Amino acid sequence: MSQLSHIHPFAVCKTLDVVEDNFGFVLREFMKELEELESEEGMLLDIPDMQNFCIRGTLVSVSADTKGAHEIGGLMSPSANKFCRLCLIHRSEINFKSNVDQLVLRDYDYDQAVVASNERVCDISQ
């Protein structure tokens, strides 16, 4: 059961900042801190009466509503051309696809190919 005491905000920011940078400014800083947290040295915390307190850890899960997940993942609103976070269907193809077997899914192999190519295959502006 979800309880408010179990929900912790990732970031609090102004709408204007998000509109201008699509979460980029928040995610860049978060990724730097996550790398530090996952490093061998860990993250040094400033805690009174606990000198040199260091923690190490990693991110286990992220949960978001559909709109938030789309924004964080670089997908625009449902009115964008590439609107699905599960497959690569283009808005112009939607009336011609009647079966999931006709779709190219965003699966592990696809993700690895994108990482290996080091390309942005679905820019937010598409």
Q: What was the pLDDT predicted at 126?
A: 45
Residue 29 φ then ψ, to 5°: -65, -40
Domain boundary, last residue among 33, 63, 93: 63
44 and 98 housed in the same domain? no
Domain membership flag for residue 3: yes
CB distance 46 to 64 below 8 Å? no
Is 0.85 surpassed by the pTM of this model? no
Nearest to 72 by CA among 17, 26, 14: 26
Q: What was the pLDDT predicted at 42?
A: 94
Q: What was the pLDDT predicted at 125?
A: 45
Domain ranges, residue 124: 80-126
Domain membership flag for residue 71: no
CA distance 80 to 73: 13
Q: Quick one: 120 exposed, middle or buried, by C-beta within 10 A (0-12, 13-18, 19+)?
A: exposed
pLDDT tens for residues 39-94? 999 999 999 999 999 999 998 887 777 777 777 776 666 667 877 878 888 889 98
44 and 90 housed in the same domain? no
